[in-house]
């Protein structure tokens, strides 16, 4: 990301300001010249490789998107950077990030912002900015955010607030009354069937949905299937009228199914292709947080819009997962009850068609 985004931006700014510099690509290092005798070196590095800066003497450092870094990396990386502040008249360390729950920024600037006597620390300060304050954004940017994101994440991403994103119900935007529909396959004879699919030995699951005027209706489910060949049989038996219509069933699979299994002669995805289904998938799965955010935003976004409805009678396992899946003590979706397969399946379809992508996510490719 640094080489793709940060380095070209630094080069552009230096060129516009007519400041001489040399960029050493192999070392990811800038040598900026302020005159014959004055030079500043700027090193570009990743927090994950923080031990590589052990020999540097720094005047300042900056960490971007620090809350997207795991705490067990962010904390020692910050301490290492602080220990290398040895040059210049004023030592400075800074970080910037969209708040991702209660991670590094909350720990360092809120929880630890008092000394042993309970007085506020004088050597650190937190600045909070709202997206509303950015007058350079296009007028449609914020309304688009309100449509895409669920309400709790809007507090973080639009207002810069620390919000607990990893406790309570995973799918907190879901409401069995407001997201209920009686629509079924009979109402969508001409529509494409969008099938999200999760691979698990003995627990394969498929969530069947249609998209009608940008609204999603999940009208059926197939759960507790032993393996991929059995899933192929189940789909063909459930929807025989679709078999002769090209592309009438599109499958969005768990991308981990693209890897060879020791008990299979072909990959799960290859088997589905051989059965004649259309496969749509990313080369790797989306971030779990992005997938969950996409589902929550479809259930109810920050503008109060419900864009996803479920036939509860036809999808009982999906409803159980929506209402009962919580988080573990370390902030990850709880998979111990075995109810998560069907909602994960729907999530792959949802993220592809209505994605919410973090700043570190890779653009999707088939």
**Least reliable range by pLDDT among 17-21, 55-59, 194-198, 354-358:** 354-358
Higher local confidence (pLDDT), 302 or 164: 302
Q: Where residue 85 falls among pLDDT bands split at 50, 70, 90? A: very high
Mean pLDDT of 325-329: 89
Does the pLDDT value for residue 364 go beyond 70?
no
Does the pLDDT value for residue 258 go beyond 70?
no
Q: Is the dihedral of CA 157, 162, 163, 167 positive or negative?
A: positive
pLDDT of residue 350: 97
pLDDT of residue 162: 86
144-203 pLDDT tens trace: 888 888 888 888 888 888 887 777 899 999 999 999 999 999 999 889 999 999 998 889
Return left, alpha or beta for 276; rule: phi > 0 is left, psi -120 to 50 is alpha, else beta. left
Q: Is 40 helix (H, G, I), strand (E, B) or coil?
A: strand
Residues of the chain with CATH 3.30.420.280: 185-353
When the pLDDT of each residue in the chain is averaged and rounded to a whole number, the result is 88
pLDDT of residue 219: 97
pLDDT of residue 113: 85
314-324 pLDDT tens trace: 999 999 999 98
Does the pLDDT value for residue 225 go beyond 50?
yes
Does the pLDDT value for residue 230 go beyond 60?
yes
pLDDT of residue 318: 96
Kindly report the backbone phi and psi dihedral angles of residue 150, in degrees, each rounded to the nearest multiple of 5, phi listed first.
-70, 165
Cβ-contact 178, 298 below 8 angstroms: no
**What's the whole-model pTM score?**
0.71
Mean pLDDT of 209-223: 97
C-alpha span between 346 and 340 (Å, rounded): 10
In sequence order, which residues have a C-beta less than 8 Å from that of residue 180 and are 6 or more positions away?
A: 309, 310, 312
How far, CA to CA in Å, does 20 sit from each of 13, 35, 36, 169, 228? 11, 9, 11, 54, 60
Strands 39-43 and 29-33: antiparallel
Q: Where residue 246 falls among pLDDT bands split at 50, 70, 90? A: low
Q: Where residue 352 falls among pLDDT bands split at 50, 70, 90? A: very high
120-143 pLDDT tens trace: 888 899 998 899 999 999 999 999
DSSP notation for 354-366: S----TTPPPP--
Candidate CATH numbers 1.10.1040.10, 3.40.50.720, 2.60.15.10, 3.30.420.280; the one for domain 185-353: 3.30.420.280
The stretches of 195-306 forming alpha helices (DSSP H) are 228-238, 268-274, 288-299
Q: Where residue 36 falls among pLDDT bands split at 50, 70, 90? A: confident
pLDDT of residue 362: 39
Higher local confidence (pLDDT), 35 or 286: 286
Mean pLDDT of 266-291: 88
Burial of 140 per CB tally in 10 Å (0-12, 13-18, 19+): exposed
The four Cα atoms 145, 150, 152, 155 give a dihedral, to 10 degrees, of 10
Higher local confidence (pLDDT), 116 or 363: 116
Mean pLDDT of 51-73: 91
């Amino acid at each position: 990301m640094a080489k793709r985004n940060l380095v070209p931006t630094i080069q552009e700014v230096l060129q516009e300001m007519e400041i001489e510099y040399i960029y050493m690509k192999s070392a990811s290092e800038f040598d900026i010249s302020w005159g014959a005798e004055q030079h500043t070196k700027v090193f570009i590095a990743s927090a994950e490789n923080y031990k590589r800066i052990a020999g540097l003497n720094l005047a300042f450092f900056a960490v971007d998107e620090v809350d997207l870094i795991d705490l067990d990396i962010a904390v020692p990386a910050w301490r290492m950077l602080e220990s290398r502040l040895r040059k210049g008249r004023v030592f400075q360390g800074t970080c910037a990030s969209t708040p991702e729950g209660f991670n590094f920024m909350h720990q360092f600037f809120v929880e630890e912002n008092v000394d042993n006597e309970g007085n506020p620390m004088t050597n650190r300060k937190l600045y909070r900015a709202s997206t509303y304050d950015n007058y350079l954004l296009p007028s449609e940017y914020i309304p688009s955010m309100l449509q895409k994101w669920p309400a709790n994440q809007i507090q973080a991403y639009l207002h810069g607030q620390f919000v607990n994103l990893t406790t309570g119900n995973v799918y907190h935007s879901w409401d069995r009354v407001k997201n209920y529909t009686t629509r079924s396959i009979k109402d969508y004879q001409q529509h494409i069937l969008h099938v999200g699919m999760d691979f698990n030995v003995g627990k394969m699951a498929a969530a069947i949905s249609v998209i009608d005027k940008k609204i999603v209706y999940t009208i059926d489910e197939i759960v507790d299937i032993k393996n991929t060949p059995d899933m192929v049989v189940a789909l063909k038996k459930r929807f025989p009228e679709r078999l002769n219509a090209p592309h009438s069933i599109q499958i969005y699979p768990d991308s981990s199914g693209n890897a060879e299994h020791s008990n299979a002669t072909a990959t799960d995805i290859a088997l589905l292709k051989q059965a004649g289904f259309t496969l749509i998938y990313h080369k790797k799965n989306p971030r779990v947080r992005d997938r969950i955010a996409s589902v929550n935003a479809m259930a109810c976004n920050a503008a109060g819009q419900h864009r996803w409805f479920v036939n509860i009678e036809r999808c009982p396992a999906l409803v159980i997962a929506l209402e009962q899946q919580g988080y573990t003590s370390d902030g990850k979706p709880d998979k111990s009850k075995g109810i998560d397969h069907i909602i994960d399946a729907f999530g792959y379809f949802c993220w592809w068609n209505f994605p919410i992508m973090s700043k570190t996510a890779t653009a999707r490719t088939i």
